[in-house]
A and B are shown apart, each in its own frame.
Chain A
Amino acid sequence: MINILEVAETNQMIEKENLDVRTITLGISLLDCIDSDLERLREKVYQKIYQAAKELVQTGEEISREFGIPIVNKRISVTPIALIGAAACKKPEDFAQIAKTLDQVAEKVGVNFIGGYSALVSKGMTEADRLLIESIPMALSCTERVCSSVNLGSTKTGINMDAVRLMGEIIKQTAEYTKERDSLGCAKLVVFCNAPDDNPFMAGAFHGVTESDRIINVGVSGPGVVKTALSKVRGESFEVLCETIKKTAFKVTRVGQLVAQEASRMLDVPFGIVDLSLAPTPAIGDSVADILCEIGLEYAGAPGTTAALALLNDQVKKGGVMASSYVGGLSGAFIPVSEDQGMIDAVVAGALTLEKLEAMTCVCSVGLDMIAIPGDTKASTISGIIADEMAIGMVNQKTTAVRIIPVIGKGVGETVEFGGLLGYAPIMSVNGFSCEAFINRKGRIPAPIHSFKN
């Protein structure tokens, strides 16, 4: 039988160390809503999502009460809208209408974000893909809850550089469209290489076409728990360090697995995956950067950071894999800047630069995340940053992403406040040398040699 010390340990994690389940994300296929009439399509989409998700928030709250564990977010992901709207949408404004429908139904069922305003263009773009991408600035400025993602490359297909060029401009436009809110639209827009079909985390969640009609995916969290565990083994060997991370990750993930199974049973929706990511929040003590400091760095970004992060990411996976029957999504340590107080401190102290962050993304999930840059950064420079990150993902056969916010009207040294879970960020400097001639080349970068495994 469980003893008082074990109970106290679990409750200490929840009450003092910010252990929570970050999100229960309900994936819903909209393939059966496809219609050539836009109004009919919107009605079908609304009804399908409403019927599938009307009990999601209530169920999440009930599970939270029964186990005494906070479930921070209840969210929805849907089939990429570029596929769903292809037959009905003839111009970007038509796609933006679908975004409004998604926003309305998300508000109605009470979720804080709905993901899947997406296009998968890793090799080429259809006309519908292009229209959806062009509609993103409009869609994100006229909605509150809609999140958008675009997959620009993969290890199997290479990188679609035409789409990379276009996304540099779209990110700038989105920043302009939402400039009176510190370019907040860009915080809800992410580009990927090797985007997973079952990611429960925003802004990149969408319900892949390989998935069943509905699915429950759960994202756990617990940087604070790992940090506290590591504070008890200061100065010990790498073996002890790694074992401690593994054991802690196991415990954290088991909670996610339990919540996922319970949600699946109560909603009568199949259980998909648990995403093992260590996801920070701006709350004090809920920081991945603080773990890196506990491992032995003065600040995240100091020499040794990439190695420490590689170790952390690997041990989290090793501990988590055994704790869950199905693991998927992004599964690793997230290193967003604005959503992690320790990362913000590192940037302010001058310890962490964009280039170091890029190096860090080679060894963890996901990529350059929630980074504010000067509003006058050129679109081609943003495309260059994206291309670099996509190349890391393509060559290393991993998911990488870019969620970068050119804050209109602000420059290096200023800060930007997004609020809530999105946090605040100091604006980081960007290498100002031009990559325009590179980005202006047409076509795509071929798939790397090691993608040919057949």
Chain B
Amino acid sequence: MKRAIITVVGKDTVGIIARVCTYLAQNNINILDISQTIVQGYFNMMMVVDMNQKEKHFGDIVGELHTLGEEIGVMIKCQKEEIFDKMHRI
């Protein structure tokens, strides 16, 4: 399975998850897991998503999520899962 990790970091506001999820639904990306915390007023979310059915190029999704983040006023990153797996699992 091609999985990616989406992280959203920034000032908490209404509708962050809704807008990210809408984008993912429109692009056929399935959410497998969500965890979220708020530290000192800062919104911190991590999603594990399944990219198997995605229609766009991975690099384009990264770019579009980044742009969406700028619109909302948060930082959105989308990275392939392997970088975290490699670093934190033997």
Which chain A residues have a beta carbon within 8 Å of chain B's beta carbons?
1-4, 6-11, 62, 65-69, 251, 254-255, 257-258
Binds A, one of B14-22, B23-31, B78-86: B78-86
CB pair B87 A255 closer than 8 Å: yes
Q: A251-B87, A255-B86 are in contact. List 16 more A-B contacts (CB 8 A).
A: A4-B35, A4-B37, A6-B84, A6-B87, A8-B44, A9-B88, A10-B88, A65-B63, A66-B59, A66-B80, A67-B79, A67-B80, A67-B83, A251-B88, A255-B83, A258-B83
CB pair B87 A10 closer than 8 Å: yes
Question: Cβ of A10: which chain B residues have Cβ within 8 Å of it?
Answer: 83-84, 87-88
Say what secondary structure dominates the interface of chain A: helix
CB pair B79 A6 closer than 8 Å: no
Is B77 in the interface zone, CB < 8 Å from A? yes
CB pair B48 A1 closer than 8 Å: yes
Interchain CA distance A8-B77 in the complex, whole Å: 11
The 7 A-B residue pairs with the shortest CB-CB distance in the complex, in nearest-first order? A68-B79, A67-B83, A254-B86, A4-B46, A6-B88, A2-B84, A65-B59
CB pair B35 A3 closer than 8 Å: yes
CB pair B62 A7 closer than 8 Å: no
Is B71 in the interface zone, CB < 8 Å from A? no
Question: Cβ of B80: which chain A residues have Cβ within 8 Å of it?
Answer: 66-67
Contact of B81 among A2, A11, A254 (CB under 8 A): A2
Among B59, B63, B78, B88, find the residue whose CB has the most chain A CB atoms closer than 10 A.
B88
Question: Cβ of A258: which chain B residues have Cβ within 8 Å of it?
Answer: 82-83, 86
- Residues of B in contact, count (CB < 8 Å): 25
CB pair A1 B83 closer than 8 Å: no
Q: How far is the CB of A254 from chain B (nearest CB, A)?
A: 4
A68 closest partner in B (C-beta): B79
Question: Cβ of B78: which chain A residues have Cβ within 8 Å of it?
Answer: 68
Interchain CA distance A3-B35 in the complex, whole Å: 8
Question: Cβ of A68: which chain B residues have Cβ within 8 Å of it?
Answer: 62, 77-79, 83
Question: Cβ of B84: which chain A residues have Cβ within 8 Å of it?
Answer: 2, 6-7, 10
Q: How far is the CB of A199 from chain B (nearest CB, A)?
A: 24
CB pair B87 A65 closer than 8 Å: no
A256 closest partner in B (C-beta): B86
Interchain CA distance A6-B63 in the complex, whole Å: 23
CB pair B44 A257 closer than 8 Å: no
Interchain CA distance A7-B84 in the complex, whole Å: 6
Interchain CA distance A420-B51 in the complex, whole Å: 38
Interchain CA distance A7-B89 in the complex, whole Å: 12
Interchain CA distance A141-B8 in the complex, whole Å: 48
B34 closest partner in A (C-beta): A4
Q: How far is the CB of A4 from chain B (nearest CB, A)?
A: 4
CB pair B62 A65 closer than 8 Å: yes
A65 closest partner in B (C-beta): B59
CB pair A7 B59 closer than 8 Å: no
Q: How far is the CB of A336 from chain B (nearest CB, A)?
A: 27
Interchain CA distance A216-B21 in the complex, whole Å: 38
Question: Cβ of B79: which chain A residues have Cβ within 8 Å of it?
Answer: 66-68
B39 closest partner in A (C-beta): A8
Q: How far is the CB of B41 from chain A (nearest CB, A)?
A: 16
Among B33, B59, B62, B87, find the residue whose CB has the most chain A CB atoms closer than 10 A.
B87
Is B49 in the interface zone, CB < 8 Å from A? no
Interchain CA distance A257-B89 in the complex, whole Å: 14
Interchain CA distance A65-B82 in the complex, whole Å: 13
B6 closest partner in A (C-beta): A7
Is B5 in the interface zone, CB < 8 Å from A? yes
Question: Cβ of A62: which chain B residues have Cβ within 8 Å of it?
Answer: 59
Question: Cβ of A66: which chain B residues have Cβ within 8 Å of it?
Answer: 58-59, 62, 79-80
Question: Cβ of B86: which chain A residues have Cβ within 8 Å of it?
Answer: 254-255, 257-258
CB pair B5 A2 closer than 8 Å: yes
Interchain CA distance A422-B6 in the complex, whole Å: 35
Q: How far is the CB of B26 from chain A (nearest CB, A)?
A: 20
CB pair B46 A7 closer than 8 Å: yes
A61 closest partner in B (C-beta): B59
CB pair A7 B7 closer than 8 Å: yes
